[in-house]
Structure 1
């Protein structure tokens, strides 16, 4: 036996959650002798770290991601040279060498059947590959009792329901479609806030480069069509229930830049002596203090105005919607009523009746955020909520009653993490948001959970979460139970997500 041990420090968290198979051209197979038992989160993440490393050996397009598993200065050239080209692997055995401390995955590599052992340990609350062992004498063929690895695409995932998802990797990033069972992944285009049409055949989205523009495209990537342009920062397009109209938000007017205000204390005293009104400090002002020059100082953030507009696809007509507010974000059309849509204002959510041209408040909490999703039967809302310094997912009835929190970080996770200064700030576009989840070297106390999307039958919700150290698509029951990775089959391996908290629609499911 020839042992080569690498002590590796990952600079980000585990890239791959427990996978039964990995994407084409690789298929990872579990040994049939491994019993199915209820596993701890540490077991899942420890094994996922090993499998992520193995997958990086088999996927040429993931070479750049292999560095995520290696500490600076660590070289694996010798191992890669000895292994040659790897096209697949089969896991023969996996389990704890030292309970909750050292996890071992033994696998056969293809072609040739070379045996490899990968060891993982927990460092600073993250599971990392800290050893690799090559076993001589097995290169002539597959290990006894094993089956050859056959190259294949990701296998279907049971329990995800039906339909098709469209998702964006980040606001303005690549747009993909995938079947709910984790098969059929296809990159379609790039843009912002994609949404599937009611019949599931088209996608609506916007782009900001080279100009602000509204598009539709077929789910197979054909027939991309531009419908409208030249409204600033168009985003959050949404289909009417009958598929004939599209509503979107756009920015126009208001204060696009912040303003630093300073007043000398002597000036303020003179004002008071003259009986003049004192300086008004806005409610959203930040950094209120007396500076080193003995001045009252505070910063007034941007206050951009956002509006809603409608395109009639059958008539080619445009019109602005009079919602009664200058703050209109993240519209989402009612799935059964073509005259109603929900949107986020500056003081919570509201329902707009396009026929009556009036808005009615649904909630009065400015921490309610988009993208807002209405259940297929139109009875409930799912949304992102700013809570305890992070994002959570709430649901409520369409009238705002019966609010329920679906996601929450377990107390034992909070206790084992470091506190992070998760500063709230206003973006240049006027969005109230916060620093990105899990920045380098600053693990958050709590998980972020955001951007929900209902399944076609309303029984499940897909959402974004960073609980493993990176943003991933997970799924849960509509009551918040059974939260799990949506695509553990490796279908999205190598795709990186980023949720920025600017009311972006990450997922649409029909």
Structure 2
């Protein structure tokens, strides 16, 4: 039977730090082991910062749930997110330097779920401006946008490859939800999963050799890994309750994901090689959407984000 370890201290009982001023966060932190996760309350997300090296976590404030979940730039100096203002949902940036809040998109259809390119120069996102869900890419400097998916089916969950040459996403274009990879230079598109059900939420390993994703191929939602060279599939979560939202650690050794195996949502960390699980949270507050932070990230930009209204 797979061993499940627990942190020595319940994260919800650990030290609590609430953002009170931007100056508290006006510094950069060097770390490859920091993870953010969210716990939804009635009107907000409570935001937690977990140090995987020190086995400690902190509540760092509240994030309005009218906004989409944040995406950190590769250099840790900016955060992209979607937010509804002026009657429409668009992509915004919060920046550590200069203008703290910048509107990136502005059109009549909703734009949401931004993800950064590895070089930090472009953002892929989901847009409904064409009457259905499409994958767009925007150059941050020039503002040039391109529809990459161009299909009447629902396209969502964009994820950049580590070398920036490909984007993985999920699509319903063939009547069921599969994982596709688009090569940007040639615009060639490949269906990687070919499953008559739902495959969604792709995320690349840091070396670009594997994808993790959520699949219903075993009758419930599980976290799978796919070796891109061999096509080998592996059920990493292997449980009869829902497992979803996988994200790779920066070193590629672990995958964080949300699981309902304890009858309420928790965040688990899986060792990719051994399959050993660590229970990161222990609560009844339904933590969601774990996010590994860049190796160097600026806490000032986190403070600015949490002060938005």
Of 382, 394, 406 in structure 1, the residue corresponding to residue 212 of structure 2 is: 382
Q: Does 1:234 align with 2:111?
A: yes
Could you say what secondary structure the match of 2:61 adopts?
A: strand
Could you say what secondary structure the match of 2:115 adopts?
A: strand
Contact 2:40 2:285 in 1 (8 A): no
**Separation in structure 2 between the aligned mates of residue 199 and residue 452 of structure 1, nearest angstrom:** 22
1:205 paired residue number: 81
Contact 1:343 1:351 in 2 (8 A): yes
Give the CA RMSD over aligned residues: 3.2
The superposition leaves residues 151-207 of structure 1 with CA deviations (integer Å, 9 ceiling, x where unpaired) of xxxxxxxxxx94322334469952735143233442363422432222233322212
Unaligned runs of 5+ in 2: 1-5, 17-30, 294-309
More helix by share: 1
TM-score (norm 2): 0.72
Deviation at 1:350, TM superposition (A): 1.3
Of 1, 9, 22 in structure 2, the residue corresponding to residue 20 of structure 1 is: 9
Q: Does 1:496 align with 2:279?
A: no
Q: Does 1:183 align with 2:57?
A: yes
1:61 paired residue number: none
Deviation at 1:324, TM superposition (A): 5.5
TM-score (norm 1): 0.46
Q: Does 1:308 align with 2:135?
A: yes
Count of residues in Structure 1 that have an aligned counterpart in Structure 2? 261
Deviation at 1:244, TM superposition (A): 0.4
**Separation in structure 2 between the aligned mates of residue 197 and residue 163 of structure 1, nearest angstrom:** 16
Q: Does 1:342 align with 2:168?
A: yes
1:509 paired residue number: 292
Map 1:346-425; keep pairs closer than 5 Å: 346=172, 347=174, 348-398=178-228, 401-409=231-239
Could you say what secondary structure the match of 1:192 adopts?
A: coil
Could you say what secondary structure the match of 1:229 adopts?
A: coil
**Separation in structure 1 between the aligned mates of residue 96 and residue 120 of structure 2, nearest angstrom:** 15
The superposition leaves residues 388-437 of structure 1 with CA deviations (integer Å, 9 ceiling, x where unpaired) of 4421100002357011111223xxxxxxxxxxxxxxxxxxxxxxxxxxxx
2:25 paired residue number: none
Deviation at 1:465, TM superposition (A): 0.6
Q: Structure 1 residues 483 and 193, CA, compared in 2 at 3 Å: closer, same or farther?
A: same
Contact 1:395 1:405 in 2 (8 A): yes
Deviation at 1:487, TM superposition (A): 4.1
Of 237, 242, 245 in structure 2, the residue corresponding to residue 448 of structure 1 is: 242
Contact 1:164 1:177 in 2 (8 A): no
Of 124, 128, 142 in structure 2, the residue corresponding to residue 251 of structure 1 is: 128
Q: Structure 1 residues 331 and 448, CA, compared in 2 at 3 Å: closer, same or farther?
A: same
**Separation in structure 2 between the aligned mates of residue 407 and residue 357 of structure 1, nearest angstrom:** 33
1:216 paired residue number: 93
Unaligned runs of 5+ in 1: 1-16, 26-160, 255-304, 410-445, 499-505
More strand by share: 2
Of 232, 235, 254 in structure 2, the residue corresponding to residue 460 of structure 1 is: 254
Deviation at 1:313, TM superposition (A): 0.7
Contact 1:351 1:361 in 2 (8 A): yes
Deviation at 1:321, TM superposition (A): 1.9
Contact 1:329 1:345 in 2 (8 A): yes
